[in-house]
Amino acid sequence: MNATAAPAVFAPWTEPDAVPLIHLNGVTKEFGSFTAIDNIELEIFPREFFALLGPSGCGKTTIMRMLAGFEDPTRGTITIDGKNMAGVPANKRAVNMMFQSYALFPHLTVADNLAFGLKRSPMPKSEIKGRVDEMLRLVQLTKFASRKPHQLSGGQRQRVALARALAKAPKLLLLDEPLGALDKKLRQETQFELMDIQEKTGTTFVIVTHDQEEAMTVASRIAVMDEGRLKQVATPDRIYESPNSVYVADFIGDVNIIEGSVSLVDGEKAELQWAEGARPIRAMSGQGISPSDRAAFVVRPEKVAIATTEPSDMHNRVQGTVEDIAYLGNMSTYHVRLADGTLVKAQAANNRRISRRGITWYDTVWLSWTDTAGLILSN
Amino acid sequence: MNLSRRLLIGIPYLWLLVLFLIPFLIVLKISLSDYDISIPPYSPKFDLSAGWEGIKDYLGSLDFENYAFLADDPLYYTAYLSSLKIAAISTFLTLLVGFPIAYGMASAPEEWRPSLMMLVILPFWTSFLIRVYAWMGILSNEGLLNQFLIWTGLISDPLVILNTITAVYIGIVYTYLPFMILPIYATLEKLDGSLLEAAEDLGCTRISAFWLVTLPLAKPGIIAGCFLVFIPALGEFVIPSLLGGSDTLMIGKVLWEEFFSNRDWTVASAVAIILLLILVVPIILFQRNEQKQREAAK
């Protein structure tokens, strides 16, 4: 079992007395006049698989490089395992990194690459060979021990890089876009391998990625970043189901965004006036909205139902015309244009053969969603 | 294989045949002839008018007498050995000077690198001979260096540098420095910076990362640079004769003296053939290094 499949068992961030492995306390990093990291507060717990997710240039790599010891924060402190890391160089930290380019030493064999860090550690020579063999078995590369990196495939190199970073049994493993160079199918297989290895070794993993699907798959918690700030730190399902901002909702997965003004806030429920003469949308209320605020209603396409007849029992129902159908095999996404010009995407599973599908281009259809399907978030 | 391709491959072969193989065979032939007071100063001379019999006679009179002479007279093999020693030591000195320069260039900001490269190549814009003469002006007893040192009060009597082996080393290191810097720079520039970070991440200090990662990866460049300095330095003639004085024994100088002072073309040719044979070994090693590098780049 892995961390993401058993969130009820593994959730140290909900336990008030859990001791974090990493603590970033008011960390700011400036490069000249450019602020790469802006006053970040973050705790990461032992055995977590933590993902830093964001577009390129959001500062996720800078956080990772500060944890590794390649950069020092301009302000604030980084604590790893209770020790302040200020002034501790990369080679003195119980942190190892798997580089995006893998950074395998081209002049050394696979086995020598794995032994490289061990030879620099207090481990006695006699034990190094055993540890290297153990790491080779872990990543299933025993047969390739005497090969040079250029004689390996991309996937094999990726595994060597992982094994090399794990060989010294670091407290914290940093992974910089570890699967970026692999093709999609291999990437998906490797994601599960990564989770498996993380579980076996019990190491805390911090992964940097711009691929939201990858972050959702592997991570116990995700930090969504933008312009040097943390937008939201939560479990993948929380990030997906209850994003705290339109930015997060838009960054993770596909989403419909309808802008309007808040007409009612009643505890967890709220209503949004979105078009002249249209019925207000009822949805869950996000944080910090109050009546007459500008706000946006966000709903995932798979939570929008599509029908040819009016679902009169639903409060949230709108009529529109099918403009486009994206057939994805297992499901189809319908792009529906509403009377006021808004485009709403609705997803439906193709549980019938396509020839039997009742809806086609330019049909007038009804879209509907429950009162709890979407969120109204401040803009 | 089509005609145009054959032509394309044929051109370098033709070039080698006309400008290397034929002159080499002529020199080889002279080295097997005997000294003679005539013009040109050897016999027998090649004469096609005597017909087939003439050629047979001609071939029959060739011998290895000059090579035997080279082996007899200690002057020659001490000159060869001394040349090997001087070439080896100056290659090592050039490496000591050239590597830090190449390393500095490769770690300089990217926008500086073309200018730095230019500075390394710039001396080639002036004639080699003039630059060696300039060194004579710098190193002589009344030269710039001694004037400067006396002016600073570091020494009271001028240092004798010119016409010593030290001047030869200075001359060779100065002249061949770009041939050392450029190949090393080429390998260091390609070096992926994340490899050094990975080494540090795995527990290396900056210095041990240099020894364990930078140096092994720069090895092909170092080897290429060493050969590019060693090979021409071995047969060097201008630098030892202008800067080295009479004590400096190098085979290039001996060759020149045999040829022009003694007018003994036959012995001079034998000296040249032996020098070439000595050079074949490092040249083959150099080619093998280049080949390996090309394969690794694939």
Question: Is the per-residue pLDDT at B297 higher than 70?
Answer: no
Please report the number of interchain residue pairs, chain A to chain B, with beta-carbon separation below 8 angstroms.
57
CB–CB contact A97 B201 (8 Å): yes
Nearest by CB to A117, which of B197, B203, B216? B203
Instruction: Render pLDDT for A51-104 as a digit per residue (tens, 0 to 9).
Output: 999 998 899 999 999 999 999 999 999 999 999 999 999 999 999 999 999 999
| Subunit contact B197:A107, Cβ cutoff 8 A | no
Q: Which residues in chain A are contacts of B212 at CB distance < 8 A?
A: 116
* Residue B208 reports pLDDT greater than 90: yes
User: How many domains does chain B contain in total?
Assistant: 1
Nearest Cα neighbor of A345 from A307, A299, A293 is A299
Select the residue from B200, B202, B204, B210 to test the A interface by mutation, using most A Cβ atoms within 10 A: B202
Strand partners, A207: A51, A175
Interface check for A360 against chain B (CB to CB < 8 A): the answer is no
| Residue B199 to residues A51, A124, A206, B68, Cα–Cα distance (Å) | 24, 19, 20, 57
Which residues fall within 8 angstroms of residue B28, CB to CB, at 6 or more apart?
Answer: B269, B273
Sequence-ordered alpha helix ranges (H) in B122-264: 128-139, 144-152, 165-190, 193-201, 206-209, 215-234, 238-243, 251-256
Among chain A residues, CA nearest to B215 = A107
Give the DSSP H/E element, type plus range, for residue A318: strand A316-327
Higher pLDDT, A180 or B107: B107
Burial B42-69, CB ≥16 within 10 A → b, else e: bebeeeeeeeeeeeeebeeeeeebbbee
pLDDT of residue B35: 84
Q: Each residue of A292-317: b (16+ CB within 10 Å) or e?
A: ebebbbbbbbbebbbbeeeeeebebb
Q: How far is A87 from chain B (nearest CA, A)?
A: 14
Whether the predicted pLDDT of B198 surpasses 60: yes
A103–chain B Cβ distance below 8 A for any pair: yes
**What band does B101 get if pLDDT is binned at 50, 70 and 90?**
very high
Asked if residue B160 is part of any domain, the answer here is yes
Query: Residue B179 above 50 pLDDT?
Result: yes
Chain B CB contacts of A120 under 8 Å are 202-204, 208
Report residue A189's pLDDT band, with 50, 70 and 90 as the boundaries: confident
Query: What CATH number corresponds to the domain at position B105?
Result: 1.10.3720.10
Q: Are residues A295 and A287 in contact, defined by beta-carbon separation less than 8 angstroms?
A: no
> Is A247 touching B (CB cutoff 8 A)?
no
Tell me: the pLDDT tens digits for A321-344?
999 999 888 888 999 999 888 999
* DSSP secondary structure letter of residue A227: T
The tokens describing A282, both together, are 């009822």
CB atoms within 10 A of CB A269: 14
d(CA A360, CA A321): 10
CATH number of A3-94+170-246: 3.40.50.300
What Rg, from alpha-carbon coordinates, does chain A have? 25
Cα gap A198→B30, rounded to integer Å: 77
- Which amino acid, one-letter code, is at B202? L
Confidence check: pLDDT of B197 > 80: yes
Q: Residue B214: its pLDDT value, please?
A: 95
Residue B56 included in any domain: no
As a whole number, mean pLDDT of residues B2-23 equals 89
The pTM score is 0.81
Residue B286 above 90 pLDDT?
A: no
In one letter, which amino acid is B43?
S
User: Does residue B121 sit within a domain?
Assistant: yes
Of B194, B195, B201, which has the smallest distance from its Cβ to A90's Cβ? Answer: B201
Peptide bond before B40: cis, by omega within 30 degrees of 0? Answer: yes
Chain B residues with CB under 8 Å of A112 CB are none
Let me know if residue B63 belongs to a domain: no
Mean per-residue pLDDT of chain A:
90
Tens-digit pLDDT profile for residues B29-76:
889 888 887 778 887 777 777 777 777 777 777 888 889 888 888 989
pLDDT of amino acid A6: 46
pLDDT tops 80 at residue B230: yes
Among the partner residues B197, B204, B217, nearest to A106 by beta-carbon distance: B217
Judging contacts by C-beta atoms under 8 Å, the chain A residues touching residue B219 are 107
pLDDT at A351: 81
Strand A204-209 to strand A172-176: parallel, antiparallel, or no bridges (unpaired)?
parallel
Q: List the single best residue of A120, A132, A166, A172 to mutate versus B (max B Cβ within 10 A).
A: A120
Which phi-psi region, left, alpha or beta, contains residue A127 (left: φ > 0; alpha: ψ -120 to 50)? Answer: alpha
Kindly state the tokens that stand for A224. Answer: 């969504």
Q: How far apart are CA A101 and CA A356, in angstroms?
A: 49
The whole-number pLDDT of residue B262 equals 87
Domain A255-378 has CATH 2.40.50.140: yes
Tell me, what's the pLDDT at A1? Answer: 44
Chain B interface residues (partner A, CB cutoff 8 A): 192, 194-195, 197-205, 208, 212-213, 216-217, 219, 296
Q: What is the pLDDT of residue A204?
A: 95
Q: How far is A174 from chain B (nearest CA, A)?
A: 11
In tens, the pLDDT along A102-117 reads 999 999 999 999 999 9
> B197, A90: Cβ pair inside 8 Å?
yes
> Given pLDDT bands bounded at 50, 70 and 90, which one contains residue A229?
very high
Lowest average pLDDT, out of A208-212, A245-249, A312-316, B280-284, goes to: B280-284
CA distance A106 to chain B (A): 8
CB atoms within 10 A of CB A56: 8
- What 3-state DSSP class applies to A368? strand
Check if the beta carbon of residue A329 is closer than 8 Å to that of residue A316. Answer: no
Burial environment of residue A80 by CB neighbours within 10 A (0 to 12, 13 to 18, 19 or more): buried
pLDDT of residue A187: 86
Q: Which domain holds residue B227?
A: 68-297
Higher pLDDT, A253 or A172: A172
pLDDT of residue B7: 87
Percentage of chain A beyond pLDDT 70 is 97
For residue B255, being part of any structural domain is answered with yes
Start and end residues for every CATH 2.40.50.140 domain found in chain A:
255-378
Rounded to two decimals, the ipTM of the complex is 0.82
For B240, residues 6+ apart whose C-beta sits below 8 A from its C-beta are B86, B168, B248, B250, B252, B253
Q: What is the pLDDT of residue A7?
A: 47
| B187 domain-assigned | yes
Burial B106-138 (b: 16+ CB within 10 A, else e): beeeeeeeeebbeebeeeeeeeeeeebeebeeb
Q: What is the pLDDT of residues A30-60, one digit of tens each?
A: 999 999 999 999 999 999 999 999 998 899 9
**Quick check: is B207 in a domain?**
yes
Instruction: Choose among A275, A262, A292, A257: nearest CA to A339.
Output: A275
Based on C-alpha coordinates, what's the Rg of chain B? 24
Taking only the tens place, the pLDDT of each residue in A151-185 is 999 899 999 999 999 999 999 999 999 888 788 88
Q: How far is A143 from chain B (nearest CA, A)?
A: 22
Give me the half-sphere count of Cα atoms (radius 13 Å) on the Cβ side of residue B18. 6
What stretch of H or E contains A299? Answer: strand A294-299
Mean pLDDT, all residues of chain B:
90
